Structure 1
Amino acid sequence: MGRTENPINYEVSTRGRLAELLRAEKAGRTYDELATLTGVSAATLKRAASGKVVPAETVVDSFLAACGSAPRTVRTAKSLRFQARRDELGGPIRVLATTVNTADALSDAFEALHRNAAAPTYREMQKSAGGAYLLPLSSVSRILRRQMLPVDEQQLVAVLRGCRVPEREHGEWVKAWRRAMGRSSSPIDVRGLTWVIDAIRRISTEVRFEALAAGMAPVMAAVEQLDTSRLAAGITPAVAALAATEQLDTSRLAAQMASAIAALPPVAPVTAA
């Protein structure tokens, strides 16, 4: 006969209820037996069923799998774990995308969304987002530590998915991100940049324009979204392609490009005649 277990800690109600469920599913098995089946230490499994801590989701999954728990029980346990973790953090925080207008407010919102999602680990967020190529761990860390904001809408949506924000709410968060980043929702009249291309043509008659076109593609894609950080990055391959020409005056090219970037925000949207 196994040792009598200590009473469950109900200091956080949902945490205690989760421990109660796990003990009921254990049904006479020892923690050593479960450890052999799960590969999780007996001490970790015992803590999971104590009510003193909120176990990791992987621990709950392994615990119940070893017990042969029914799918409905597994869903109940996951729900209790989610609620327990959120209660442990102090409960949900009301946050509305429509009230976010600045970078600081957006950082505050990400903290609240992360907390409301029961503070998933960075790897859990990455998995929910769709993988490392969409949401690198380093980016998650910097965003939640208020060191950066999502670099584009794709990364924003990845963060939202990582925080389990419903898809129906993503549109409002995209608008909030644009406001916080100072981005326009209206497309720019890119015809206003034709003088930049003309200036490049005048700099050298020996430019390899096929290479230039390839380099300028990401520039023009960035311009359409008024994303000046991507625009700057896009200019780099264009300059590299042009630099292959010995007669190119790169200092004049850089000056022309700088003027182009500075001129972007005031460009007015095209209106029908």
Structure 2
Amino acid sequence: MTGAGAMPPGPARAALADYLSTLRRRSGSTWDRLARITKLSEVTLRRTARVTGQVRPEESVIAFVAGCGGSGVEQDRALDLWRAARVEERKVLLRLKAPPLDAVRTAGDLRDAAAAAYERDGASPWKEVRKRAGRRPDGTLILSERTIRAIIVPPGVDPSSIQARRRLPGDLAQFEAFLRGCRVSEKELTLWRRTWQQVTSPPAGDHTRVASALSREAADQRARASACKISPPYEKLLRQLSREQVDALLAAGTAHIVVETARRAGISVPVGTEDLAAVLRQASARSEDLAATLHKVLSGRT
């Protein structure tokens, strides 16, 4: 039961509590007897089967079902309900807005899809994810904490606020290790592997489309990484603009600063502010080095 003024349980949490309570009633076990069977305290068991409070760890649910004499099928059902309750509790999956795997087009899409896989699996503690990911021949864990930290989104955090430090791992082995830690099956890994290759190593004849997508992703990463240099009011404004509008704004601002700085220093600039802004926008669209472009323009070599 929920106390006076308490928020009612979510449907997923209520379903888990109802299922576990049904198993206990069917078994005829008292809380005291169940505690002796599972080696868990009565308090822990009651918290595992109640509808309020923090969702208890996966291990508690497994022990609860086993203590009630549940079958393997019933354990799997309980774990499905537990995962749904964790998704409901953490509220990360909805904020991620991750695309389905067959709709992934950029490295950012693939990173978010992997983060969603972590959430759907119940967002286990990192140490458990690393254990499930496997070990090297020398016994060390394959999956690093850095990889996990770079992919997932902590609960209560807006994904857009930490985009600058979220990225795909540098190699496929780490990425696969993360997915194995999230209990992605070997069959499903084949599709993940293929998607990784499409995003990071485009097939012949498809370089233009994927390179464009990757350059957009890189531009997004650079923009987010520099967000810490922007005052909060301007950061809020930039979030409301499209990528094209931000590019135009930065090109115009950069051109103005360059031209005015040169004029104050008594340096002759071969182009006006508007022309320089247009050159910068074109160079950005071609993913060229903007510093090199400025040097060429100001030296009269374009």
Which bracket does the TM-score occupy, shorter chain normalised? 0.5 to 0.7
Question: Structure 2 vs 1, CA of residues 152 and 162 (structure 1 numbering), >3 Å: closer, same or farther?
Answer: same
2:51 match = 51
**Residues 64, 107 of structure 1: CA spacing in aligned structure 2 closer, same or farther, 3 A cutoff?**
same
Deviation at 1:14, TM superposition (A): 2.0
Structure 1 residue 16, shift from structure 2 partner: 1.0
RMSD: 3.1
Residue 239 of structure 1 corresponds to none
Q: Deviations over 1:202-236 (max 9, x none)?
A: xxxxxxxxxxxxxxxxxxxxxxxxxxxxxxxxxxx
The answer as to whether partners of 1:135 and 1:159 remain within 8 angstroms in 2 is yes
Letter paired with 1:135: L
Which of 101, 107, 110 aligns to 2:106? It is 101
Cα distance between partner residues in 2 of 1:134 and 1:115: 21
**Partner SS state of residue 40, structure 2:** coil
Alpha-carbon distance between aligned partners in 1 of 2:199 and 2:180, rounded to the nearest angstrom: 15
Distance across 2 between alignment mates of 1:50 and 1:67: 16
Q: Could you tell me which residue of structure 2 aligns to residue 136 of structure 1?
A: 144
Q: 1:95·1:113 contact (CA, 8 Å) conserved in 2?
A: no
Q: Which deviates more from structure 2 when the two are superposed, residues 84-93 or residues 148-157?
A: 84-93
Structure 1 residue 170: deviation in Å?
1.7
Q: What is the DSSP-based 3-state SS (H/G/I as helix, E as strand, rest coil) of the residue aligned with 1:120? A: coil
| Of 56-65 and 27-36, the range deviating more from structure 2 | 27-36
Runs of 5+ unmatched residues, structure 1 = 1-5, 187-273
Return the match for 1:175 from 175, 197, 220: 197
- The 1:112–1:74 alpha-carbon spacing in structure 2 relative to 1, beyond 3 Å, is closer
Q: How far apart, CA to CA, are the structure 1 residues paired with 2:180 and 2:64?
A: 26
TM-score (norm 2): 0.49
Aligned pairs (5 A) from 1:146-161: 146=165, 149-161=168-180
On the 8 A contact 1:95/1:112 being kept in 2, the answer is: no
CA offsets per residue over residues 82-119 of structure 1, 9 Å max, x none?
Answer: 222223334564424553434x5554443333223332
Instruction: For residue 143 of structure 2, give the secondary structure of its aligned residue in structure 1.
Output: coil
Letter in structure 1 aligned against 2:142: L
Counterpart position of 1:70? 71
Q: Percent identity?
A: 28
Does the 8 Å contact 1:106/1:176 carry over to 2?
Answer: no
Aligned residues: 176
Contact 2:45 2:64 in 1 (8 A): yes
Tell me the amino acid that sits aligned with residue 144 of structure 1. I
Q: Which structure 2 residue ranges, 5 or more long, are not aligned?
A: 154-164, 205-302
Structure 1 residues 161, 69: closer, same or farther in 2, change over 3 A? same
Aligned partner (choices 121, 127, 131) of residue 123 of structure 1: 127
2:87 counterpart letter in structure 1: R
Alignment of 1:249-268 (within 5 A): none
Matched with 1:201 is: none
Name the aligned partner's letter for residue 141 of structure 1.
Answer: R
Give per-residue Cα distances to partners, 1:37-76, cap 9 Å, x unaligned: 2232222211111112422110011111122112222121
TM norm structure 1 = 0.53
SS in 2 for 1:64: helix
* CA distance in structure 1 between the aligned counterparts of 2:39 and 2:199, rounded to whole angstroms: 43
CA distance in 1, matches of 2:35, 2:149: 32
Q: Which residue of 1 aligns with 2:29?
A: 29
Shift in alpha-carbon separation, 1:176–1:161, aligned structure 2, 3 A: farther
